[in-house]
């Protein structure tokens, strides 16, 4: 039995499901697989906040419209969560607890009690305090239960013709800040603006990491030469937000801020 077959069995066992949908690689694949397994017994819920770029929200809305999936958008302000803006090591726990509490409430209005997130098997190998919040709230993670890795999800997404099969892995924009640095709406907007510049210039994998007045740009290893060749344009675009702009010679690495723990 393949991992996709296992996933289908798991999804069918739920009967009806609500998926926390960000529009990223994992949640898009999970939503598509859920539609195939459950038909209309499905709800997508996207939580709109300062930490979700407008482009991600737009893509999430468009996907559900194209697929004919019932979609609810609820708003929240993570910065209002006690302790969140201080950016502690358990920030992700605070966020996930808030986000999926809201998703559960939205799902219950539709008579749905099974809530799913897009965590995959690879997420078990890194620092992921948000997984504890999911467990406490009884949220299921079908991709993890099916033991699907990110590589398998991308391959399966490609077979399904999903536009996200080669999309860069997305993470909440608060993950761009070194732990302990206070997060503000202005700083989040700065990160969103700078990353939008990199995306507009054709970079496929990128992060703008913030260390006070300094930002550290990560791009894919094969994209480093082009980033260097555009250093003048990059510096000019980022100057409005940061005093110092640097390029990480090791390139893009998901979860690199966890090195500071």
Whether residue 166 is contained in a domain is answered as no
Asked if residue 6 lies in contact with residue 147, where contact means CB atoms within 8 angstroms, the answer is yes
Q: Are residues 113 and 81 in the same domain?
A: yes
Q: Are residues 24 and 151 in the same domain?
A: yes
Q: Which residues pair with 43 in a beta bridge?
A: 18
Strands 214-219 and 206-211 turn out to be antiparallel
Whether residue 86 is contained in a domain is answered as yes
Ordered DSSP codes for 187-199: HHHHHHHHHHHHH
Q: Are residues 13 and 124 in the same domain?
A: yes
- How many domains does the chain fold into? 2
Mean pLDDT of 71-93: 95
Last residue of a domain, one of 159, 184, 215: 159
Residue 1 has pLDDT above 90, yes or no: no
Q: Are residues 227 and 109 in the same domain?
A: no
Q: Are residues 125 and 231 in the same domain?
A: no
- Of the pLDDT bands very low, low, confident and very high (cuts 50, 70, 90), residue 260 is low
Q: Are residues 125 and 177 in the same domain?
A: no
Q: Are residues 117 and 242 in the same domain?
A: no
Give the pLDDT confidence of 205-237 residue by residue, as tens digits.
999 999 999 999 999 999 999 999 999 999 999
Whether residue 168 is contained in a domain is answered as no
Asked if residue 197 lies in contact with residue 233, where contact means CB atoms within 8 angstroms, the answer is no
The CA–CA distances, whole Å, from 241 to 188, 196, 231 equal 11, 13, 16
CATH, residue 20? 3.40.50.620
- Of the pLDDT bands very low, low, confident and very high (cuts 50, 70, 90), residue 155 is very high
Residue 12 has pLDDT above 80, yes or no: yes
Last residue of a domain, one of 159, 181, 198: 159
Q: Which residues pair with 247 in a beta bridge?
A: 217
Q: Are residues 254 and 152 in the same domain?
A: no
Whether residue 164 is contained in a domain is answered as no
Burial status of residue 126 (CB atoms within 10 A of its CB: 0-12, 13-18, 19 or more): exposed
Q: What is the C-alpha to C-alpha distance for residues 191 and 186, in angstroms, rounded to an integer?
A: 9
Q: Are residues 189 and 73 in the same domain?
A: no
Q: Are residues 36 and 152 in the same domain?
A: yes
Strands, sheet with 206-211, edge to edge from the N-terminal-most edge strand = 206-211, 214-219, 244-247
- Output the pLDDT for position 26: 96
CATH, residue 255? 3.30.70
Asked if residue 223 lies in contact with residue 205, where contact means CB atoms within 8 angstroms, the answer is yes
Residue 177 DSSP symbol: B
Give the closest residue to 16 by CA, choosing from 38, 36, 45. 38
Whether residue 240 is contained in a domain is answered as yes
Give per-residue burial for 222-233: e unless 16+ CB within 10 Å, then b: ebbeebeebeee
pTM of the model: 0.89
Ordered DSSP codes for 64-85: HHHHT--EEEEE--GGGSTTGG
Structural domain boundaries, residue 40: 3-159
Q: Are residues 67 and 179 in the same domain?
A: no
| Residue 212: count of CB within 10 angstroms of its CB | 11
Q: Are residues 68 and 39 in the same domain?
A: yes
- Output the pLDDT for position 222: 95
Whether residue 128 is contained in a domain is answered as yes
Last residue of a domain, one of 133, 159, 185: 159
């Amino acid at each position: 039995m393949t991992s996709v077959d296992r996933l289908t069995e798991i999804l069918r066992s739920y009967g009806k499901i609500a998926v926390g949908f960000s529009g990223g690689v994992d949640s898009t694949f999970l939503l598509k697989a859920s539609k195939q397994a459950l038909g209309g017994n499905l709800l997508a819920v996207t939580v709109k906040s300062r930490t979700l770029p407008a482009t991600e929200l737009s893509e999430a809305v468009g996907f559900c419209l194209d697929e004919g999936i019932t979609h609810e958008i609820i708003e929240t302000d993570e910065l209002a969560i006690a302790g969140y803006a201080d950016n502690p090591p358990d920030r992700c726990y605070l966020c996930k607890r808030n986000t999926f509490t809201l998703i559960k409430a939205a799902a219950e209005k539709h008579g749905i009690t099974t809530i799913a997130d897009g965590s995959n098997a690879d997420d078990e190998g890194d620092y992921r305090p948000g997984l504890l919040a999911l467990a406490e709230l009884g949220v299921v993670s079908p991709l993890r239960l099916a033991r699907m890795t990110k590589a398998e999800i991308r391959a399966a997404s490609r077979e399904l013709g999903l536009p996200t099969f080669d999309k860069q892995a997305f993470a909440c924009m608060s993950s761009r800040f070194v732990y302990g640095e206070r997060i503000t709406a202005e700083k989040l907007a700065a990160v969103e603006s700078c990353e939008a510049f990199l995306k507009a210039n054709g970079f496929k994998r990128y992060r703008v990491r913030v260390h006070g007045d300094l930002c550290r740009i990560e791009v894919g290893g094969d994209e480093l030469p082009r980033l260097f060749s555009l250093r003048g344009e990059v510096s000019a675009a980022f100057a409005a937000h940061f005093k110092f702009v640097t390029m990480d010679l090791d390139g893009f690495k998901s979860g690199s801020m966890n090195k500071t723990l």
